[in-house]
Structure 1
Amino acid sequence: MEAVSWVFVIALFVIAYVGLIYPIIPSVLFVFLGFVVYGLFNGFSEMTWTFWVIELLFLILLFGADFFSNAFGIKRFGGSKAGIWGSTIGLLVGPFILPIIGIILGPLIGAILGELLVTRSSFKQSVKTGIGSLIGFLTSVITKGIVTSLMIVIFVWYV
């Protein structure tokens, strides 16, 4: 039965890594679901309160990293809240309109359109904001990948 539990846990962790790129998949929730599935199959005794506190802190860090990386990238390149909203919408819609490449183009185009349509920025400034959005997204993916990996390593260490 332990082997079956590990198959489920690993599958959930893989889905979590896919969620780093596809924002529609809440990656951190799949990591936590992996912890719970392991506990349901094998017991929670190995996962102490210290484990849960550490993992909860990482959870908070992951939620913050997503928002702040994108907002920082846009603000750093002179964008506004319209660029942030456009980037977020583009990040959610892009992969559905253009699979795979939409992950990159969605936030870029969304930020550009947000700046052009709402703030009436110049095209040059809007593109600069779009590039900031893309840099923020890529930074977020890298940061979330590192934190997700740390969460999984801590889990494996505890169990």
Structure 2
Amino acid sequence: MDITLSVAAFLFSIIGTAGCIIPVLPGTVMSYAGLLCAYFTSYSHISTPAVWIWLAVSVAVCAADYFLPAWMTRRFGGSKAGAIGATVGVIAGFFLFPPFGVILGPFMGAVLGELLHDKSDPAKALLVGFGSFLSFIVGTGLKLAASVGMFIHVATDTYPVVRDWLATIF
């Protein structure tokens, strides 16, 4: 059972880290699932407070990633149309122009949303687009930092046992 949990821990952690960039996968949730798999192995040295702290970090990062685009769009003077455009831009960019569409989609969507809302101020639309792009970068950075942190925690907890298993097999 430990081998299955260890393999699952690494797979969830790697997929979770990739999921920070790919918007279809829930990155931090997958990384946390990997941490839990590592925690439930018989040899784990991950403490219970560490599991709760990583849960709090995961929830905070997911909440920030959810609220950050709307907040940054408003902070840069955008309307609801800009926020909706940024969301549509992320989804459309992922499917139409991967991988660059995920990066440029929020910007283009927010700009187009603002221009559809108010055609008279294209400079404001560009500023709102920049705010949306910045929120995507910050949100992705937060998710990536949390997922890499959990991956490192899983790897340092699992590596000695995996090294011993491989030494006995080969």
Letter in 1 for 2:11: A
Report whether the alignment pairs 1:93 with 2:92. Answer: yes
Aligned length: 158
Report the secondary structure of 1:21's partner residue.
coil
Report the equivalent of 2:22. 22
Q: Larger deviation: 124-133 or 46-55?
A: 46-55
Report the equivalent of 1:107. 106
Question: Moved runs in structure 1, 4+ residues, more than 6 A?
Answer: none
Is there any run of 5+ residues in structure 2 with no aligned partner, and where? 159-170
Once the two structures are TM-superposed, the CA of residue 155 in structure 1 deviates from its matched residue by: 4.7
Report the equivalent of 1:32. 32
Paired residues of 2:9 and 2:154 also in contact (CA < 8 A): no
Give % identity.
30
TM-score by length of 2: 0.77
Paired residues of 2:35 and 2:150 also in contact (CA < 8 A): no
Aligned Cα RMSD in Å? Answer: 2.6
Report the equivalent of 1:57. 56
Map 1:61-76 → 2, pairs under 5 A: 61-76=60-75
Paired residues of 1:51 and 1:158 also in contact (CA < 8 A): no
Paired residues of 1:58 and 1:151 also in contact (CA < 8 A): no
Once the two structures are TM-superposed, the CA of residue 58 in structure 1 deviates from its matched residue by: 0.6
Once the two structures are TM-superposed, the CA of residue 68 in structure 1 deviates from its matched residue by: 3.6
Once the two structures are TM-superposed, the CA of residue 20 in structure 1 deviates from its matched residue by: 1.1
Q: C-alpha offsets along residues 7-39 of structure 1, whole Å, 9 cap, x if unaligned?
A: 332222121111111111101221122134335
Q: C-alpha offsets along residues 116-158 of structure 1, whole Å, 9 cap, x if unaligned?
A: 2235552221121111111111111112222223333445566
